[in-house]
Structure 1
Amino acid sequence: MQLTYLDSNSWLIEMAGKRILLDPWLVGSLVFGNTPWLFKGDRPQDREVPDNVDLILLSQGLEDHAHPETLKVLDKSLPVVCSPGGQAIAEKYGYETIHSLNHGEVFTLDTLEIRAVKGSPVGPTTLENGYILTDLTTQKSLYYEPHGYHSEELKQFAPIDVVVTPLINLKLPLLGAVIKGQETALKVCDWLKPQVILPTAAGGDVHFDGFLMKFLKPDGTVQEFAEMLATQNSGTRVIEPEPGEAIAVLSEA
């Protein structure tokens, strides 16, 4: 299993003989609702679109998971697996094959299984997706949830080899953590007993501007999380990826 971090929530996952582009933001700026004055993310230069992608996987319909400019330039013949929130975005940009998964539903492509699980709340009524990806040949597995909301239903799928989730908190005054790490990541490690955990949602070669950045505050560091995890004697290894650098996270594919 090999992972390449592409900034923000974006990853290239290579497992079960497939190349999965997860929550891709590769080109242009990251803006929510056409309000760059509120929040805007930019990187020094666009990322190259990875070659030979087999599948696009979207956990949410928000711009930092279903990025409009990126979805415009990707191959529309690529199958898209997504949350119901992501389905409308994929349809808008003309993707030919879309598999929308409700919680508990499974999509299989050859020996790759993708299971949708309960993820992050978005607004008062929408609960988006997390995913468990499994190589049905080796039984190696990966769990991804980009905002740090983990359902206790995950316990039935333990152990899971690799976890990708936030390891620090991002907080807004009065609202509290909008992205949860630290304690929630410790909890999911206790449940799933992963060999490896990697941070997502914060970091990478990105600069953020806008009014919201005056109030959005990080709480904790990856190193602090690693030290907290060590006190649990869990055996889980923390890997902080370098953007654009492929990492073999497990000794076996």
Structure 2
Amino acid sequence: MNLTYLDSNSWLIEIDSKRILLDPWLVGDLVFGNQAWLFKSKKNNPQPIPENIDLILLSQGLEDHAHPPTLKKLDHNLPVVASPNAAKVVKELGYTNVTSLDHGESFKLGEQAEILAVPGSPVGPTLVENGYIIKGLESGKNIYYEPHGNHSDSLSEAAPIDVIITPLINLKLPLVGPVIKGQETALQVCKRLKPQVILATAAGGDVDVQGLIKTLLKADGTIEEFKQLLQQNNLATKAIDPQSGETIELALV
């Protein structure tokens, strides 16, 4: 299993000979609602668009998961698996092979991989987006991904999980609280799922962030502190803080 970090929430997942492009932001800036004064993130060293992609996987319909400039650039004939909200985005962009997954629904990628949608992050008062469990059908290894640190109680049914991709630090806004949850929520999900490896996402990468939100966001915790939490709780999970463009080859048992 190889995992390549492409900044923010973006990953290239290589599992059982399949290449899955997850929540890609690969071209242009990341802006919410065309409001650059509020938030604008720019890649310092943009990564090339990966070749030979088998599937695009989208967890949310927001721009940092379903990034319109990137999706406009990618091949519109590629199959897409997405949350219902993200499916609307790619369909409006002209993608022709889109599968929308509600929580509990699954999709088979050939005979090599299966993707199960699980409850993810609340977006607004009524909408809960997707997390995913990606399983290699030949190797039997699996990955759980949730980009904001909201972990459903139903995940316990999927234990054990080999690899988790989720935030490991908190990002907080005044009066709002954590918009990205890490540290304690990541520790609790490690206790429940007993992963061999957990990788940080969402808050990393080689990016330059500007705008009002940047001045208000406060980080709470560090990767090193999280590693100490794992040790203090007698968990054998290895925590990795991936670097931009780095491909991590995982030798799982």
TM-score class, shorter: over 0.9
Deviation at 1:249, TM superposition (A): 1.9
SS at match of 1:121: strand
Cα RMSD for the two superposed structures: 0.9
231-240 vs 25-34, which deviates more?
A: 231-240
Contact 2:45 2:206 in 1 (8 A): no
Matches within 5 A, 1:103-252: 103-110=103-110, 111-251=112-252
CA distance in 1 between partners of 2:152 and 2:95 (Å): 30
- 1:96 pairs with 2:96: yes
| TM-score under structure 1 length normalisation | 0.98
Q: Deviations over 1:139-195 (max 9, x none)?
A: 100000000000010000000000000000000011110000000000100010000
Deviation at 1:250, TM superposition (A): 2.6
CA distance in 1 between partners of 2:78 and 2:214 (Å): 35
Unaligned runs of 5+ in 1: none
Q: Deviations over 1:42-66 (max 9, x none)?
A: 0124321001110000000000000
Q: Deviations over 1:93-121 (max 9, x none)?
A: 11110000000000001220000000000
SS at match of 1:14: strand
CA distance in 2 between partners of 1:234 and 1:223 (Å): 15
Name the aligned partner's letter for residue 78 of structure 1: L
Q: Deviations over 1:120-142 (max 9, x none)?
A: 00001100000000011221000
User: Judging changes above 3 Å, is the alpha-carbon distance between structure 1 residues 240 and 45 closer, same or farther for their aligned structure 2 residues?
Assistant: closer
Deviation at 1:213, TM superposition (A): 1.1
Which residue is 2:70 aligned to? 70
CA distance in 1 between partners of 2:47 and 2:101 (Å): 28
Name the aligned partner's letter for residue 192 of structure 2: W
SS at match of 2:209: strand
Which residue is 1:61 aligned to? 61
Name the aligned partner's letter for residue 54 of structure 1: D
Name the aligned partner's letter for residue 221 of structure 1: T
241-250 vs 165-174, which deviates more?
A: 241-250
CA distance in 1 between partners of 2:225 and 2:197 (Å): 16
174-183 vs 44-53, which deviates more?
A: 44-53
19-28 vs 211-220, which deviates more?
A: 211-220
Deviation at 1:75, TM superposition (A): 0.5
CA distance in 1 between partners of 2:68 and 2:45 (Å): 17
CA distance in 1 between partners of 2:204 and 2:240 (Å): 13
SS at match of 1:133: strand
CA distance in 2 between partners of 1:46 and 1:244 (Å): 9
- 1:28 pairs with 2:28: yes
CA distance in 1 between partners of 2:107 and 2:142 (Å): 14
Name the aligned partner's letter for residue 50 of structure 1: P
CA distance in 2 between partners of 1:190 and 1:251 (Å): 18
Deviation at 1:234, TM superposition (A): 1.1
Unaligned runs of 5+ in 2: none
Identity %: 61
CA distance in 1 between partners of 2:246 and 2:173 (Å): 31
CA distance in 1 between partners of 2:102 and 2:16 (Å): 23
CA distance in 2 between partners of 1:116 and 1:170 (Å): 25
| TM-score under structure 2 length normalisation | 0.98
Which residue is 2:82 aligned to? 82
